[in-house]
Amino acid sequence: MKKSKFIFLTYPLAAVFAALILMAFAGSQDKKCGPEWDVPAKYKTMKNPHADDASLERVGKMLYSKHCKSCHGAIGLGDGSKAASLGVAMHSFAEDKFQAQSDGVIYYQSFIGRDEMPNFEKKIIDDEDRWALVNYLRTLKK
C-alpha cells in the first residue's frame, strides 16, 4: 500500500521539478537592463577631484575586486558569478555608451545605487577611495 502511494506521487513531482528547471533556464536568457538612471543634478555636475591621479590605480583595482567583481565580472562585462541570480542585467563598463557618462553620474550609480545595485556609502567611506573606483571603471573601456 505504502509503496504504491509513493509511486503515485513520483510523476507529478518529476513534472514540477522539470518545469522549475526549465523556468530557471528560460528566465536567465531574456534579462534586460534597467531603465535610464534618474541622476540628481548635484551628481551630474560633480567634479572628480582625483581624475588622472595615477597613485590611486591600485586602490581602485583592489576595491573593485573586493566589492564589485562578484556581480559586474572581472573586466566589467556584467557577467560576475552573482549575475545569474539577479533580476536585471548590467551594462558593460566597456561600452561607449557607459563611458560617455560623466564621472559624477558614475559616482551616483556606483555608491548610491538603486534596487539590485547595492548602496556602497557605508562600505566605501572615504571620498578619495570612491573616486579611485570611478577612475578604475574608466580603465575598463574597450
Partner 1 sequence: MKKYILLLLTTTFSFVLFGQDVEKEVDKPVRSPFESGYLIDNQTTVIPVEGTLEFAIQHKFGTMDNGFSDLFGIYSPGANIRLGLNYVPIHNLQIGVGATKKNMYTDLSAKWTIFEQTRENTIPVAVALYGSMAIDGRNKSVFGSEKVVDSKGPAEEEDVAFNDRLAYFSQLIVGRKFTHWLSLQAAVSFTHYNMVGWDYNHDMVGLHLNGRVKFSPQGSFMFNYDHPLKIKNISEQSNWNTHPEPNVSCGVEFSTSTHAFQIYVGSADGIIPQDIMMYNQNDWLDNGLAIGMTITRLWNF
| Positions that interact with partner 1 (CB under 8 A) | 58-59, 61-62, 64-67, 70, 122-123, 125-126, 128-129
- Residue closer to ligand HEC by CB (options 53, 116) is 116
Q: Answer yes or no whether residue 82 interacts with ligand HEC by CB under 6 A.
A: yes
For the purposes of burial, counting CB atoms within 10 Å of the CB of 58, is it exposed (0-12), middle (13-18) or buried (19 or more)? exposed
Q: Answer yes or no whether residue 34 interacts with ligand HEC by CB under 6 A.
A: yes
**Least separation in angstroms between CB 119 and partner 1:** 9
Helix spans in the chain (H): 2-29, 41-44, 57-63, 69-72, 96-99, 103-111, 127-139
- Residue closer to ligand HEC by CB (options 53, 89) is 89
Binder among 59, 71, 132, 140 for ligand HEC (CB under 6 A): 71
C-alpha closest to that of 53 among 112, 133, 140, 124: 133
What are the cell numbers at 135? 577612475
Chosen from partner 1, ligand HEC, none, partner binding at 126 (C-beta under 5 to 8 Å by type)? partner 1
